[in-house]
């Protein structure tokens, strides 16, 4: 698969109780359809060949013999196919019957994994028919009832399938109840190196059980840092006393990538990211190394997805409908368009409104508690903030107000300083004034035009030269004023710069780059917007809400260049450095997972496509050339501006990505970007 992805499928076919031939044909149809769609692994429910609800029919030899023969026939159907099948079946050996999961591929049964934890409580009576499985693997001599071929099959819980032609694909299996117990087999599987866990399940429906099941699978994938494919029995099982509703789940490292509909049968396909799992295990130092001692207790079955025999029945996968213009390599369009998973264009912002509200409140609390502790520790009763009427300073002021409330300090001790200059517009000025007054902070207005012009004369700079000197002189003048007012009032300066600006180095060194405590340092720009909107949505002060909504709609700008003739903002940050939602997406993929430029670009093509977002308005749609342009810009700025991040003031981390030199990012200021840019050039 592409860039570390592999396509997997979870299938719940409509079966008939004890009708093994019917069930086999239903399974084959799902295999064929999954392969058409490019899947390399498909998982079926527990006892899918016979049905889970056969009860005492499991004592009938005719049923057990038919199941074994059908499994051999099913294996023969996989000959020449590039797909691994995991199917639930009975398995009889040494006078005992087992509830098992069979690995089959390219004409053979590669392994039989028996279920260890057999429920025998409530509605379950599995010990009446089955024997618990053992971890130890032994080899069973097997004659195929489909072809007559004789070969050995490993039998036992400790079996791993390793793909020789796909790095990081290591498959293991457990069965239904195995994942519900305190010490799950999958835990040992993962410690032995498994990256993908298949679970053939038959979990009946009771009220509320779906939520518990979903959280169980999601959290198991997170704990194991693995992909987890949970396939559940559904329509067709006996309803004498129970109902089985399906609910297939494909999870990856704590996220649900795909979930089937309850009370429906179906085939559910998604791409899982093996490279991401490998990166996550690598960077999480508490995740143990693969235990060689443990692996010695496992049978490692090595195979290749590519069939070795000539009797190929392979069905050609459906080709993605790709059309592209321009210089970007067509393969990346195909990879992005064909990727079977949703790629969140705003990974820092929860898409669900309820979750977003909860998260915003949590982030505000983290920011405020960080500032509260700092003020408490130094005995400081005053805070100084440069208020511009923009998003970042607004958030900093809101956080400071909450911290003061926590400490029982009067809000008038928050000194909100507005410093109009050459680029200030009426809109931002009025919002800064209104915001300060509605929060009951103390407003100070200091116009810096005269002092900056005097500085221009001192250094011999022409005021008509709107270069970086023109801009940075204003930024540093503002910081000097804030620092001096803090000295006057025995206070500290609260920094306003956010995580996105720090990643891009979009700050004036020793200007807005500097403060005594940077409350926004862990908050990316895309999230800043929603935090401000959250306060607007929840505030009972209508005037404050109205002001915050207008700030939310104001273009991001440092306002260092003169406004347009009609008094509007002329200097829009995103016109200069690029859209922040793109940069935040790049930052997340690069910092959180260490992905290569090629993979980041491919994921961005998917994330910011119309097909990925559907009818939602979650993000803008960007063309490939625009994404490529700003990704180049991101890498250049991220590497060249590290020196600014090397001396950042303190500030709280609020999410999984941060750039503090004392925390998440230990990066040399002189690192060369050439390697990353070279890979981007290869795309052209």
Of 117-131, 235-249, 531-545, 569-583, the poorest mean pLDDT is in 569-583
Asked whether residue 126 carries a pLDDT value surpassing 50, the answer given is yes
Asked whether residue 327 carries a pLDDT value surpassing 60, the answer given is no
The pLDDT value given to residue 568 = 72
For residue 359, CA distances in Å to 352, 406, 655 come to 10, 19, 10
Confidence bin at 384 (pLDDT 50/70/90)? very high
Confidence bin at 281 (pLDDT 50/70/90)? very high
In this prediction, residues 186-206 reach a mean pLDDT of: 96
pLDDT 10s digits, 33-75: 999 999 999 999 999 999 999 999 999 999 999 999 999 999 9
Which of 397-401, 525-529, 553-557: highest mean pLDDT? 397-401
% residues pLDDT > 90 (the chain): 84
Cα separation, 630 vs 206, in Å, equals 50
Cα separation, 501 vs 498, in Å, equals 5
Asked whether residue 572 carries a pLDDT value surpassing 80, the answer given is no
pLDDT 10s digits, 78-87: 999 999 999 9
The pLDDT value given to residue 326 = 47
In this prediction, residues 362-380 reach a mean pLDDT of: 96
Q: With contact defined as beta carbons under 8 Å apart, do 157 and 146 qualify?
A: no
Confidence bin at 325 (pLDDT 50/70/90)? very low
Instruction: Round the CA-based radius of gyration of the chain to a whole number and report it.
Output: 30
Confidence bin at 316 (pLDDT 50/70/90)? low
Report CA torsion sign: 130, 135, 140, 146: positive
The pLDDT value given to residue 576 = 86
Q: With contact defined as beta carbons under 8 Å apart, do 226 and 198 qualify?
A: no
Of 339-343, 542-546, 560-564, the poorest mean pLDDT is in 560-564
pLDDT 10s digits, 224-270: 999 999 999 999 999 999 999 999 999 999 999 999 988 889 999 99
Q: Which residue has the higher pLDDT, 436 or 613?
A: 436
Q: With contact defined as beta carbons under 8 Å apart, do 304 and 164 qualify?
A: yes
Asked whether residue 320 carries a pLDDT value surpassing 50, the answer given is no
For residue 445, CA distances in Å to 393, 483, 488, 516 come to 15, 15, 16, 21
- Mean pLDDT in the chain? 92
In this prediction, residues 332-338 reach a mean pLDDT of: 78
Q: With contact defined as beta carbons under 8 Å apart, do 34 and 83 qualify?
A: yes
The pLDDT value given to residue 319 = 47
Confidence bin at 321 (pLDDT 50/70/90)? very low
Q: With contact defined as beta carbons under 8 Å apart, do 41 and 199 qualify?
A: no
- The contacts of residue 162 (CB under 8 Å, 6+ apart) are 169, 170, 171, 193, 300, 301, 302, 303
Confidence bin at 324 (pLDDT 50/70/90)? very low
Confidence bin at 682 (pLDDT 50/70/90)? confident
In this prediction, residues 201-207 reach a mean pLDDT of: 94
Asked whether residue 308 carries a pLDDT value surpassing 90, the answer given is no
Asked whether residue 309 carries a pLDDT value surpassing 80, the answer given is no
Confidence bin at 556 (pLDDT 50/70/90)? confident
pLDDT 10s digits, 624-673: 999 999 999 999 999 999 999 999 999 999 999 999 999 899 999 999 99
Start-end of H helices in 641-682: 642-645, 674-682
What do you get for the CA distance between the two ends of the chain, in Å? 22
Cα separation, 352 vs 242, in Å, equals 33
Confidence bin at 1 (pLDDT 50/70/90)? low
SS3 of residue 43 by DSSP: strand
In this prediction, residues 374-400 reach a mean pLDDT of: 96
The pLDDT value given to residue 616 = 62
Strand pairing of 108-114 and 84-93?
Answer: unpaired
Report CA torsion sign: 277, 281, 284, 287: positive
pLDDT 10s digits, 448-505: 999 999 999 999 999 999 999 999 999 999 999 999 999 999 999 999 999 999 999 9
* Catalytic positions, written as ranges: 46, 115, 176
Strand pairing of 382-386 and 491-495?
Answer: parallel
Asked whether residue 165 carries a pLDDT value surpassing 50, the answer given is yes
Cα separation, 670 vs 16, in Å, equals 66
């Amino acid at each position: 698969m592409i860039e570390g992805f592999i396509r997997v499928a979870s299938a719940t076919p409509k079966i008939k109780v004890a009708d093994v031939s019917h069930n086999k044909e239903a399974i084959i149809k799902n295999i064929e359809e999954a392969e058409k769609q490019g899947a390399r692994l498909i998982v079926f429910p527990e006892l899918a060949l016979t049905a889970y609800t056969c009860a005492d029919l499991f004592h009938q030899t005719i049923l057990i013999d038919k199941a074994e023969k059908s499994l051999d026939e099913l294996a023969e159907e996989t000959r020449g196919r590039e797909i691994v099948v995991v199917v639930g079946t009975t398995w009889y050996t040494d006078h005992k019957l087992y509830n098992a999961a069979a690995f089959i591929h390219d004409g053979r049964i590669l392994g039989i994994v028996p279920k260890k934890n057999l429920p025998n409580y409530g509605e379950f009576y599995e010990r009446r028919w089955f024997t618990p499985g053992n971890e130890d693997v032994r080899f069973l001599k097997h004659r195929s009832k489909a072809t007559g071929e004789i070969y050995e099959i490993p039998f036992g819980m400790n079996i791993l399938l390793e793909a020789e032609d796909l790095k990081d694909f290591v498959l293991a299996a457990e069965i239904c109840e195995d994942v519900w117990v305190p010490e799950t087999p999958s835990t040992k599987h993962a410690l032995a190196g498994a990256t993908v866990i298949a679970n053939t399940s038959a979990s009946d429906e009771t009220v509320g059980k779906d939520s518990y099941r979903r959280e169980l699978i999601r959290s198991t994938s997170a704990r194991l840092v693995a992909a987890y494919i949970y396939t559940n029995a559904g329509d067709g099982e006996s309803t004498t006393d129970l109902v089985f509703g399906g609910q297939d789940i494909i999870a990856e490292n704590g996220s649900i990538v795909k979930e089937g509909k309850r009370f429906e049968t179906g085939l559910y396909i998604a791409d899982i990211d093996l490279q991401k799992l490998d990166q996550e295990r690598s960077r999480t130092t508490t995740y143990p190394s693969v235990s060689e001692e443990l692996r010695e207790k496992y049978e490692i079955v090595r195979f290749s997805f590519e069939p070795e025999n000539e009797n190929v029945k392979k069905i050609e996968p459906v080709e993605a409908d790709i059309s592209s213009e321009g210089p970007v390599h067509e393969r990346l369009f195909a990879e992005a368009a064909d990727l079977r998973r949703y790629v969140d264009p705003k990974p820092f912002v929860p898409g669900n409104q309820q979750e977003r509200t909860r998260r915003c409140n949590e982030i505000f609390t983290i920011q405020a508690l960080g500032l509260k502790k700092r003020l408490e520790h130094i005995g400081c009763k005053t805070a100084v903030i440069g208020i511009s009427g923009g998003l970042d300073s607004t958030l900093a002021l809101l956080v400071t107000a909450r911290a003061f409330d926590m400490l029982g300090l009067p809000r008038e001790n928050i000194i909100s300083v507005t410093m109009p200059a050459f680029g200030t517009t009426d809109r931002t000025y009025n919002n800064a004034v209104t915001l300060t007054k509605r929060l009951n902070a103390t407003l100070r207005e200091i116009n810096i035009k005269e002092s900056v012009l005097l500085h221009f004369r001192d250094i011999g700079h022409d005021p008509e030269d709107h270069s970086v000197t023109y801009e940075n002189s204003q930024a540093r003048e503002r910081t000097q004023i804030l620092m001096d007012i803090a000295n006057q009032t025995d206070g500290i300066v609260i920094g306003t710069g956010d995580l996105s600006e720090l990643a891009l180095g979009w700050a004036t060194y020793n200007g807005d780059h500097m403060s005594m405590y940077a409350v926004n340092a862990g908050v990316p720009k895309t999230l800043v917007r929603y935090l401000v909107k959250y306060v607007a949505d929840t505030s009972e002060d209508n005037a404050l809400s109205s002001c915050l909504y207008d700030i939310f709609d104001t273009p991001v700008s440092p306002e260092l260049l003169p406004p347009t003739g009609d008094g509007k903002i002329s200097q829009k940050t995103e016109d200069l450095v690029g859209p922040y939602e793109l940069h935040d997406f790049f930052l997340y993929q690069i910092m959180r997972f260490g992905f290569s430029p090629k993979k980041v670009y491919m994921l961005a093509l998917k994330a910011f496509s119309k097909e990925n977002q559907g009818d939602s308005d979650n993000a803008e749609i960007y063309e490939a050339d625009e994404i490529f342009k700003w990704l180049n810009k991101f890498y250049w700025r991220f590497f060249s501006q590290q020196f600014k991040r090397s001396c950042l003031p303190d500030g709280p981390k609020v999410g999984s990505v941060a750039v503090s030199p004392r925390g998440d990012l230990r990066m040399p200021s002189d690192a060369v970007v050439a390697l990353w840019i070279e890979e981007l050039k290869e795309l052209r």
